Structure 1
Amino acid sequence: MLSVAVVGSGPSGVYTAQALLRQSSVPDVRVHVLDRLPAPYGLVRYGVAPDHEKIKSLQNSLRAVLEDERVTFVGNVGVGGPDGLSPARLAELYHAVVYCVGASGDRSLEVPGEGLPGSYSATRFVSWYSAHPDVGADSFARDALEARSAVVIGVGNVAVDVARILARGADELRRTDVPRAALGALERSRVREVHIVGRRGPSGARFTTKELRELGALPGARVSVDPAELALDPAYSGAAGPAGAPAPPAVVRRNLEVLRGWAAGGGAVDDASHRTPGDTPGRAPRDASDRASDGAVRRVRLRFFLRPAELLERDERVAGVRFARTAPDGTGGIRDTGAYEDIPAGLVLRAVGYRGVELPGLPFDPVRGTVPHTAGRVLRNGVPSPGEYVAGWIKRGPTGVIGSNLSCAKETVASLLADAPALALRPAADDPLAVLRSWGLRPVEWGGWLAIERAEAELGRSLGRGPVKIPDWPGLLAAARDENR
């Protein structure tokens, strides 16, 4: 029997387990899928927006893999870090270990004022409304959503997700699994204007057309685009793009068509008081979002060719963002124009990308934010390390969509299977779970996860809703221990 540990129960980890089950060269394989959390599914549970029910339904296909009799879910077991198992110790228990730990870090803006209260990573905001137990249930309940205006920096799907949640009415979120503290805070939210801002033009945006269109379908919200900013983009005037350049990709053409429709609807940014000439320093502007407030209606403004230069401060909190105006440089890049614009905001969320985080005990490339490898085999000092593999974002960087993890996992599993004859000669524990318990760990197995599901369903029923997520470690672990509920 070939005993394999997969560290991480998100899509890349489960797809790795699935690829191991479907291969035929090693007829007898046992897979333990480890996760630091007592709940499986990774970013599908804790990263996909709660109103994206179709994408969240991917849990059903992941579940089918984890329920296979050859697979054991082992939750509440961390690897790396001060409280987790070291890779060296984990390697004592299995013939091979595949690390699918994702990219949990956030890229920073690296501008003055980024650390002010009221400035957060979009990942933290997503974790809060997704009930990730590492993020306190009250992280945004006290004052962050008291702002009338919010700025989301970034033009990818995560930026669109968080803007949509801010602009969506709480009544619409009540039918989702948003935890009750987050739902209550969103009900009390005073945010009425959300700016989504990118340093490049719309042809350089990374959101999908489906995500973009969802903004225009929000009840009680109005989307606006500045036609002058769209016109700056060389790809905007026609599908052929600039002279001699290939036509933009289909997704870019579709996005531009959506933005063109919004711009034609009179969505120009007409508030000249937001603009400051040159680089003249000035005090942070007053929160002027009341000028955009019309009762219950929220406004979403998409802005382009604005590079964050500084977060502005008032009363020791963020009060806005100073942006440097950019323009195409004629070679496919952008240049600063020397003009600046201030956008008042009491809440700033940065959504400028993820970054892999070093796992103590594994080699790490700090420039790429990945574990060095060749075809998924971990490299130590340039040489493949027997029994150690990677898949997912920690292997290739935070690129692609959920489905991209399939081919990535298959490549790594192909390498592992090619090494299988030698791996099978390595020592491995007959009962890794028993060893983990002897080391003082308390693994949560599949029955414990099912108990969490039942507890969340009961919580939802008590609130007159569908299942509602448990947002804290004590609650999750207490539910997992009560497997007979």
Structure 2
Amino acid sequence: MLRVAVVGSGPSGCYVAQSLVQQEGEAYVDVLDRLPCPYGLVRYGVAPDHEKIKSLQHSLRAVLEHDRVRFLGGVEVGPRGVPAARLRELYHAVVYCVGAATDRHLGIPGEDLPGSWSATEFVSWYSAHPDSAGRSAPPGRRGVPADRFVRDVRSAVVIGVGNVAVDVTRMLARGVAELSPTDMPQAALTALAASRVTDIHMVGRRGPSQARFTTKELRELGALPDTGVVVDPAELALDPGYTDPAGLSGTQRRNVEVLRGWAGAPAPGGARRIRLRFFLRPVALLADAGRVGAVRFERTAPDGRGGVTGTGRYEEIEAQLVLRSVGYRGVPLEGLPFDAASGTVPHRAGRVLRAGAVAPGEYVAGWIKRGPTGVIGSNRPCAKETVASLLADAPALVPGGGVSADPLPLLRAEGVEPVEWAGWRAIERAEAELGASLGRGVVKLPDWESLLAAARTGAPDRAV
């Protein structure tokens, strides 16, 4: 019998668990997560109006309902929970699939002004991540009002031109009619419905041919009701790839064609405008009455080597809300080595390396292994590589039968009370009941207290 702990229940963790039980008939897998809910960024990162992508939860559910896979939510691994060393004692192997838990900063003056947030924080708010409102909210963010992001905002600036930037731009422009059928928490829906945002500027420091968004996501901006997209043809023309797209990839060429269509269209109508800007690098956030009032940008120009250089010309864009979307980054894990330069755990084919040597029984998969790159499907081959390494090591990990005791009673004896699958199903029922009471579909519970209270209604009675 091979007992494996997988830390993280997002796509990467689920794919590791799936590959393990498919390839090894005697493998038993506990999937641990700090949150009481499974699915990771599929639940808390995919935009609520992207129902097709969110439906991936159905296939992840099938993995977690396998008879040799067990979901243990509400279990934190680290100094505030189960130490990594203790986890290693309880299981033959531990696979860390914890993703990239923080966002990159701009490193410019004014970045910490009120009204300046990361896109991650905004996504967590409208996705009902419990840290956004609950006990684990970042210092200084606790107790903020439900309309924290959009209160008194007329103009917003989104810094970045990837799919997350497109998502948050789209959410700012969506109306209540489009958002009400989603699982968005009621407080966020109410705040966005009452929003007075009229101008949303999505800004990149490089040109349109180098933007990271996909064409499908980009086109969605042009289909938003009562919203027009504005593109400056002069900015597009600064990009050599725009004027001569022959050397671009298929996605880049399609993006250029979409932008070309918007640039050549008459001035759009609508109550809201999305302005796509290029070749502008943020250099400072400017204060107005104690909060963000504008962003100062430097005009950039192609440097002939795929990058850009500053031109010494500046402009300011009014903004009462600034969302930075310039990438994710892994964070150090207690008890594991960490490469600060790449934001990953050093590894060889998924095997954790300590001082260049393989650490027996410790593995990584997903973004903490390879960095924040790829799409959801990229996690499958990544997980398979790690599982192949683990199974090749299995004879050494389970000498003479090795550990066979169920770790769960031992964890409980040490004060750990996980949310098991029945508790998660109780959360699902509570969210369906909340939605019905509001005249909507499923509506997410927005905080730790309500999630844990719902989970308790599904917990088995262990009284003696």
TM-score under structure 1 length normalisation: 0.91
Deviations 1:16-42 (A, max 9, x none): 01111221xx33110000000110000
- Tell me what 1:468 maps to: 443
SS of 1:360's partner is coil
- The structural deviation recorded for 1:362 is 0.6
- Tell me what 2:108 maps to: 111
- The structural deviation recorded for 1:239 is 2.4
Contact 2:330 2:371 in 1 (8 A): yes
- The structural deviation recorded for 1:130 is 0.2
Return the alpha-carbon distance in structure 2 between the equivalents of residues 445 and 484 of structure 1.
Answer: 7
Q: Which runs of 5+ in 1 are unaligned?
A: 241-246, 269-293
Return the alpha-carbon distance in structure 2 between the equivalents of residues 48 and 98 of structure 1.
Answer: 24
Matched, 1:58 2:60: no
Contact 1:94 1:427 in 2 (8 A): no
- The structural deviation recorded for 1:329 is 1.4
- Tell me what 2:149 maps to: 144
- Tell me what 1:183 maps to: 189
SS of 1:403's partner is helix
SS of 1:415's partner is helix
Matched, 1:9 2:9: yes
| Paired residues for 1:39-50 under 5 Å | 39-50=37-48
Contact 1:318 1:347 in 2 (8 A): yes
- Tell me what 2:163 maps to: 157
SS of 2:237's partner is helix
- Tell me what 1:77 maps to: 75
Deviations 1:41-93 (A, max 9, x none): 0000000000000000000010010010010000010111x412111011111
SS of 1:91's partner is helix
Deviations 1:383-407 (A, max 9, x none): 1000000000000000000000000
Return the alpha-carbon distance in structure 2 between the equivalents of residues 221 and 460 of structure 1.
Answer: 28
| Paired residues for 1:75-474 under 5 Å | 75-80=73-78, 82-136=79-133, 139=144, 141-145=146-150, 146-240=152-246, 247-266=247-266, 297-425=271-399, 427-428=402-403, 430-474=405-449
RMSD: 1.5
- Tell me what 1:271 maps to: none
SS of 1:384's partner is strand
- Tell me what 1:33 maps to: 31
TM-score under structure 2 length normalisation: 0.95
- The structural deviation recorded for 1:8 is 0.2
- The structural deviation recorded for 1:187 is 1.3
Contact 2:147 2:187 in 1 (8 A): no
Contact 1:227 1:267 in 2 (8 A): no
Which of 142-151 and 111-120 deviates more?
Answer: 142-151
Contact 1:225 1:267 in 2 (8 A): no
SS of 2:317's partner is strand
**Cα gap change, 1:139/1:414 in structure 2, threshold over 3 Å: closer, same or farther?**
farther
